[in-house]
A and B are shown apart, each in its own frame.
Chain A
Amino acid sequence: NAGVMQNPRHLVRRRGQEARLRCSPMKGHSHVYWYRQLPEEGLKFMVYLQKENIIDESGMPKERFSAEFPKEGPSILRIQQVVRGDSAAYFCASSRGAGETQYFGPGTRLLVL
């Protein structure tokens, strides 16, 4: 299955810890997007990356959140010093080219205790 892979599927952290979420795009895709879904809400865009570049981070909180997509390896969404309000499902999507259809991974459910 060459779909978008995300791990871990579930992540539990205590307040103040760091959370690292990984996303491997579909084969042949070099564009990655991160979205956050709060309970009872739709998905909200966070950041759009191409290999080694952040293209659009307009939806990313200014503090504690960062994202990267290195030349080799998966894209990483990093949340430092997590707070309870960070509890959500984080989805990664990938596309072959800019503006092409985005295909989603299964998401990572983050729970902050």
Chain B
Amino acid sequence: AQTVTQSQPEMSVQEAETVTLSCTYDTSESDYYLFWYKQPPSRQMILVIRQEAYKQQNATENRFSVNFQKAAKSFSLKISDSQLGDAAMYFCAYRTLNSGYALNFGKGTSLLVTP
């Protein structure tokens, strides 16, 4: 079975500080894509960042960056200079190239940002 594990149900960070959300996944495939999605209180799912497994360079989108460790099957999300608007549920997901197009999601990490 292919699984995604987010070991931190809740995290808290102070405004302007940095926080890292962890994610590990389990797949026997060698080609796949990894994603972080954000779900604010509005419940809309918003794509934060994506990473192709064949790329060694970690993806970056403004204040969001990932630490992708392929051998360890780890894909953590770092949020720098946290803002109140970053408060949300964050879901890690992946999709393999050879096993269909479905995204496999973790259970999420709830991020609280305090002033």
Residues of chain A lying within 8 A (CB to CB) of residue B45: 43, 91, 93, 104, 107
Residue of B nearest to A55 (CB): B101
List which A40-94 residues lie within 8 A (CB) of chain B: 40-45, 48, 55-56, 58-59, 89, 91, 93
Residues of chain B lying within 8 A (CB to CB) of residue A58: 100, 102
Report the minimal beta-carbon distance from B89 to chain A, rounded to whole angstroms.
9
Whether A99 touches B97, Cβ cut-off 8 Å, given contacts A43-B45, A45-B103, is: yes
* Per-position binary interface string of chain B over residues 85-96, scored 1 when its CB falls under 8 Å from any chain A CB and 0 otherwise: 000000101010
Q: Does B42 contact A (CB under 8 A)?
A: yes
Q: Does A101 contact B (CB under 8 A)?
A: yes
Residues of chain A lying within 8 A (CB to CB) of residue B101: 31, 33, 48, 55-56, 95, 98-99
A106, B100: Cβ atoms closer than 8 Å = no
Residues of chain A lying within 8 A (CB to CB) of residue B108: 42
* Per-position binary interface string of chain B over residues 101-112, scored 1 when its CB falls under 8 Å from any chain A CB and 0 otherwise: 111111110000
Q: Does B43 contact A (CB under 8 A)?
A: yes
List which B53-112 residues lie within 8 A (CB) of chain A: 91, 93, 95, 97, 100-108
Q: Does B44 contact A (CB under 8 A)?
A: yes
Residues of chain B lying within 8 A (CB to CB) of residue A107: 43-45
Whether A44 touches B105, Cβ cut-off 8 Å, given contacts A103-B47, A104-B45, is: yes
Residues of chain A lying within 8 A (CB to CB) of residue B43: 89, 106-107, 109
28 A-B contact pairs sorted by A residue (CB < 8 Å): A31-B101, A33-B101, A33-B103, A40-B107, A42-B105, A42-B108, A43-B93, A43-B105, A45-B102, A45-B103, A45-B104, A48-B100, A56-B100, A56-B101, A56-B102, A58-B100, A93-B103, A98-B101, A99-B97, A99-B101, A101-B50, A103-B47, A104-B44, A106-B43, A106-B44, A107-B43, A107-B44, A107-B45
